[in-house]
Amino acid sequence: MGFSPLDTPDFEHLVQQMTVAEKALLLAGSSFWETNPIERLGIPQMKVSDGPNGARVEHGVTSACFPASVCLAATFDEELAGQVGKALGQEKKTKGARVLLGPTVCPHRHSTGGRNFESFSEDPLLTGLLATHYIKGLQSQGVGATIKHYAVNEQESNRFSMDAHVSERALREIYLKSFEISIKNANPWSVMTSYNLVNGTHADASDFLLTEVLRNQWGYKGHVMSDWGGTNSVADSLDAGHDLEMPGPAVHRTVDNIQKALDSGALSVGTLDQRVLANLKLLEQCNVFNDPSIPPEKAVDLPEHRALIRKVGAGGALLLKNDESILPLKKDKIRSIAMIGLAKEFLGHGGGSAAVNAHRKITAYEAFEEAVGGSIELKYAEVNIDGKHGFSVNCWDADGNTQETQQVPSSSFRSFESGGPSRVVMSGTYTPTVSGKHYISFSTIGNTTAYINDEEVFKYEGKSADVMAVLMGVAKEDQNRYDFVAGKEYKIRIEARTVRDAESPLSFLSSNVIGFNFGLVHQDLFEAHLVPEAVEAAKASDVAVVFVGNTSAWETEGCDRDDMNLPKDGSLDKLILSVAEANPKTIVINSTGSPISMPWILDVAGVLQVWFPGQEAGHAIADVVFGDACPGGKLPVTFPIQLSDSPAYENFPGDLEANHVEYKEGIYIGYRYYDKKSETVLFPFGFGLSYTSFDVSNAILSSKTFSQGQQIHITVDTKNIGDRNGSETIQIYVGASEDASVDRPLKELKGFAKVHLAPGEKKTVRVSLDQESFAYFDEASKKWVVKAGKYMVSVGTSSRDIHATLEIEVESRFDFNP
């Protein structure tokens, strides 16, 4: 039976007609990306898709790659966030998807969180407001948002099993607040639960998170789905309000398990039907009943998407240092530029769910060539982090019969399909150009041995701790060093057998799977060859620009980083210092999604933080470097001087053997903590230089007192007193007067406004404050409380650059429900 559009589906009638088996089908996916259809009742299938900055696809089709959310957050621009969401909705339609698995709104708890780049900020208000506009833009195109990962998913280490213990005050004020803001203001069509446990209960089965908070207190009436493999029970998750297990086929919500839960009384028919109804309503929201088609994936490279990506990439670029106004580079004043490091690497996105097979991968070198048009000599000195090699692969089935032989471009292999190979041998040769003790790296699902010239260099028996991370190509890799001689041929061989992962939450992993990654990292090239080459190029050039950062293998879903250092073991830091010594006009352009250590900060003239700016990365960078765009980005995260200065340093990632992490820092993450530790900050939250200058003045509060239910406004005049167009972000912080009975941050961001100004132009911005701007969560009463007393309203252009402080008084204490 085919599908025909239903005029007005009577969902309750549909549910009444369903068998238990059919209901069970609607409670879980059919495959990695699709839901289950029920042809008998005319219920169609629907496709969903990663990820938050572009469409991940299955069949090699290219997609638009947008800037990472941390780059979008650096713009402090709600309108741009809405435009990105709208464009992502348009892009998802070209891939046949009705739901996007994003945005990610968990705050940046620690500087080394592997997935920080995929989320927005350390501050819940900034995150919540930008995510609100992102979601509204996306859903305006008829594509549903899936806000994630709910909740307390701030690390990748032991992400499937970690039990995060956090106080309710910290939950309410920090870790749930960005979800609350976005859900109340944008109504995302779905919420994705996280893998981890929260205070002893898996997030997908948490009655506190899903029923008490999400549905009862916040009034959410939408859909809830699991992260991929993040369903951990049958009745418990269904009772808590969890609607859809993904991916499929079901592991927990099989027909037998559902029937057993009903028969035992652990699950009621009423609860079962509520969950089925929620899945039907999501199909209706996504217009699947009227249009059940899943069109084939198409690559549609729209000029307007290119332009938006380029605009956001430049808008999120952050000028951190600019001695003697070395930037922007003036094309008529310089004859040569040394382009050193990763200038020819595409650093547009992070790894994992955010990895996109981009339409375009514009490198900085390509964009600089286009920008200067031959008028300036570009002297290039390469630094290659990751070796790329060609290999042949032979596959055999369980009976020893040859299945296939193929050539592959890289030393990675994954198979988790039914009937896939039982044994794989990958072989190839490598001839180094430079002698040295280079790094070799390795990760595997298990049962794999790697050889160089028949010498065993890695061996892993059994299964790995995070099979899913390896399959996605994002697992943390083991590393050894091996002595190579330039010009000598080395035979590399990797032998792998299938691994049965019966404990995996993913159904396809309970069958036989094979997966591994093998790589070469030329550590000694920096010292033996490339540093001298870079120094010579720097000496011979008017300006040296060193491009550094993290590839998608270094900053990725699946693993947290060990430190804030650039890769690899200080090599890029050494490169920067050597170049800066050779040429005092050295500029560092850094592409990472999180803070880095900068031991060279006093030695260089300029620093530009560009995050992961999407497919037009090179163009966005060139626009800022040559002054076609004025940097207006502000830091959405604090850059500490060193990792040990971070508030969660002693408690991240927690006790990995016990699968337990304590959020002992409570509400003090990000600038809330650093405001009391000013000596530990390299660059503060909200900071960012410009090519022009601004005067911020005449800050006025609409009232000097505040009472329950009132809304007040603060107005601020901002004038561009420089000689070029630019933008400034006015940031409003509120701090309570000192009160020994309640521990409060010195100040908290409660509003902001982005203003674009021509030279000499002045505008008045207005920011509103309400009762939530003055409140804290009281654990004893389970209510938000505003205490009587004086509060300071600070007007700043960063959390440290405060231009005015105004006093307001709350005359009487009051509280309100969350």
Instruction: Spell out the residues 6+ positions from residue 465 whose beta carbon is closer than 8 angstroms to its own.
Output: 158
Q: Are the beta carbons of 191 and 185 closer than 8 angstroms?
A: no
Residue 501 catalytic? no
Q: What is the distance between the terminal CA atoms of the chain, rounded to a whole angstrom? A: 48
> Given 50, 227, 236, 524, which residue is catalytic?
227
d(CA 90, CA 262): 42
Q: Are residues 355 and 471 in the same domain?
A: no
Q: What integer pLDDT is reported at residue 783 of this predicted model? A: 97
Mean of pLDDT values over 294-304: 95
What burial class does residue 543 get, using C-beta atoms within 10 Å of its C-beta: 0-12 exposed, 13-18 middle, 19+ buried?
buried
- The CA-based angle 302-101-414, given to 5 degrees, is 90
Q: Are the beta carbons of 22 and 36 closer than 8 angstroms?
A: no
Q: Does the pLDDT value for residue 288 go beyond 50? A: yes
* 282-312 b/e (C-beta count within 10 Å ≥ 16 → b): bbebbebbeebebeebeeeeeeebbebbbbb
Q: Mind listing the pLDDT tens digit for each residue in 29-50? A: 999 999 999 999 999 999 999 8
Q: What integer pLDDT is reported at residue 560 of this predicted model? A: 85
d(CA 564, CA 111): 7
d(CA 87, CA 309): 10
Q: Are the beta carbons of 636 and 620 closer than 8 angstroms?
A: no
Mean pLDDT is lowest, of 360-374, 529-543, 599-613, 624-638, for 529-543
What burial class does residue 763 get, using C-beta atoms within 10 Å of its C-beta: 0-12 exposed, 13-18 middle, 19+ buried?
middle
Q: Are residues 485 and 591 in the same domain?
A: no
Query: Residue 623: which pLDDT band, with cuts at 50, 70 and 90?
Result: very high
More confident residue, 401 or 347: 347
Q: Mind listing the pLDDT tens digit for each residue in 391-430? A: 777 877 777 777 767 665 555 666 654 456 788 888 888 8
Last residue of one domain, picked from the residues 584, 607, 631:
631
Q: Are residues 25 and 99 in the same domain?
A: yes
Mean pLDDT is lowest, of 134-148, 450-464, 751-765, for 450-464
Q: Mind listing the pLDDT tens digit for each residue in 303-312? A: 999 999 999 9
Q: Does the pLDDT value for residue 329 go beyond 90? A: yes
Query: Residue 532: which pLDDT band, with cuts at 50, 70 and 90?
Result: confident
Examine residue 190 and state whether it is found in any structural domain, yes or no: yes
Q: Are residues 737 and 709 in the same domain?
A: yes
Examine residue 339 and state whether it is found in any structural domain, yes or no: yes
Examine residue 527 and state whether it is found in any structural domain, yes or no: no
Q: Are residues 608 and 496 in the same domain?
A: no
d(CA 787, CA 785): 6
Q: What integer pLDDT is reported at residue 108 of this predicted model? A: 97
List, in sequence order, every beta strand (DSSP E) within 175-242.
190-193, 197-198, 201-202, 223-225
Mean of pLDDT values over 67-73: 97
Percentage of the residues of the chain whose pLDDT score is greater than 70: 90
What burial class does residue 783 get, using C-beta atoms within 10 Å of its C-beta: 0-12 exposed, 13-18 middle, 19+ buried?
middle
Q: What is the CATH number of the domain that holds 16?
A: 3.20.20.300
Q: What integer pLDDT is reported at residue 333 of this predicted model? A: 95
Written as six digits, the tokens of 20 are 């238990």
Q: Are residues 497 and 542 in the same domain?
A: no
Mean pLDDT is lowest, of 21-35, 113-127, 370-384, for 370-384
Q: Mind listing the pLDDT tens digit for each residue in 93-129? A: 999 999 999 999 999 999 999 889 999 999 999 999 9
Examine residue 192 and state whether it is found in any structural domain, yes or no: yes
Q: What integer pLDDT is reported at residue 349 of this predicted model? A: 86
Query: Residue 4: which pLDDT band, with cuts at 50, 70 and 90?
Result: very low
Structural domain count of the chain: 4
More confident residue, 450 or 583: 583
d(CA 26, CA 39): 12
Q: Does the pLDDT value for residue 562 go beyond 90? A: no
Q: What integer pLDDT is reported at residue 387 of this predicted model? A: 41
Range of the domain at 128: 11-285
Q: What integer pLDDT is reported at residue 1 of this predicted model? A: 36
More confident residue, 410 or 142: 142
Residue with tokens 């429900």: 817
Examine residue 756 and state whether it is found in any structural domain, yes or no: yes
Q: What integer pLDDT is reported at residue 504 of this predicted model? A: 55
Q: Are residues 184 and 48 in the same domain?
A: yes
Query: Residue 714: which pLDDT band, with cuts at 50, 70 and 90?
Result: very high
Mean of pLDDT values over 623-633: 97
Q: Does the pLDDT value for residue 185 go beyond 80? A: yes
List, in sequence order, every beta strand (DSSP E) within 138-269.
144-150, 163-165, 190-193, 197-198, 201-202, 223-225
Q: What integer pLDDT is reported at residue 10 of this predicted model? A: 85
Mean of pLDDT values over 379-384: 72
Cis peptide before 653 (omega within 30 of 0): yes
Query: Residue 525: which pLDDT band, with cuts at 50, 70 and 90?
Result: very low
Q: Are the beta carbons of 610 and 343 closer than 8 angstroms?
A: no
Query: Residue 528: which pLDDT band, with cuts at 50, 70 and 90?
Result: very low
Mean pLDDT is lowest, of 329-333, 356-360, 590-594, 644-648, for 356-360
Q: What is the CATH number of the domain that holds 375?
A: 3.40.50.1700
Mean of pLDDT values over 658-669: 97
Instruction: Spell out the residues 6+ positions from residue 460 whose beta carbon is closer than 8 angstroms to its own.
Output: 442, 444, 446, 447, 448, 449
Query: Residue 386: which pLDDT band, with cuts at 50, 70 and 90?
Result: very low
Last residue of one domain, picked from the residues 239, 262, 285:
285
Q: Are residues 411 and 489 in the same domain?
A: yes
More confident residue, 112 or 502: 112
Q: Does the pLDDT value for residue 471 go beyond 70? A: no
d(CA 677, CA 671): 9
Percentage of the residues of the chain whose pLDDT score is greater than 90: 72
Q: What integer pLDDT is reported at residue 500 of this predicted model? A: 67
Q: What integer pLDDT is reported at residue 3 of this predicted model? A: 45
Q: Are the beta carbons of 241 and 233 closer than 8 angstroms?
A: no
Examine residue 685 and state whether it is found in any structural domain, yes or no: no
User: Residue 330: helix, strand or coil by DSSP?
Assistant: coil
Question: Running DSSP on this structure, what letter comes out for residue 182?
Answer: H
- The overall average pLDDT reported for the chain is 90
Q: Are residues 539 and 514 in the same domain?
A: no
Examine residue 470 and state whether it is found in any structural domain, yes or no: yes
Last residue of one domain, picked from the residues 616, 631, 646:
631
User: Residue 526: helix, strand or coil by DSSP?
Assistant: helix
Q: Does the pLDDT value for residue 175 go beyond 60? A: yes
Examine residue 657 and state whether it is found in any structural domain, yes or no: no
Q: Are residues 805 and 710 in the same domain?
A: yes
Q: Are residues 196 and 214 in the same domain?
A: yes
Q: What is the CATH number of the domain that holds 479?
A: 2.60.120.260
Q: What integer pLDDT is reported at residue 135 of this predicted model? A: 98
This prediction has a pTM of 0.89
User: Residue 641: helix, strand or coil by DSSP?
Assistant: coil
Q: Are residues 22 and 64 in the same domain?
A: yes
Q: Does the pLDDT value for residue 523 go beyond 60? A: no
User: Residue 499: helix, strand or coil by DSSP?
Assistant: strand
What burial class does residue 264 get, using C-beta atoms within 10 Å of its C-beta: 0-12 exposed, 13-18 middle, 19+ buried?
exposed
More confident residue, 562 or 184: 184
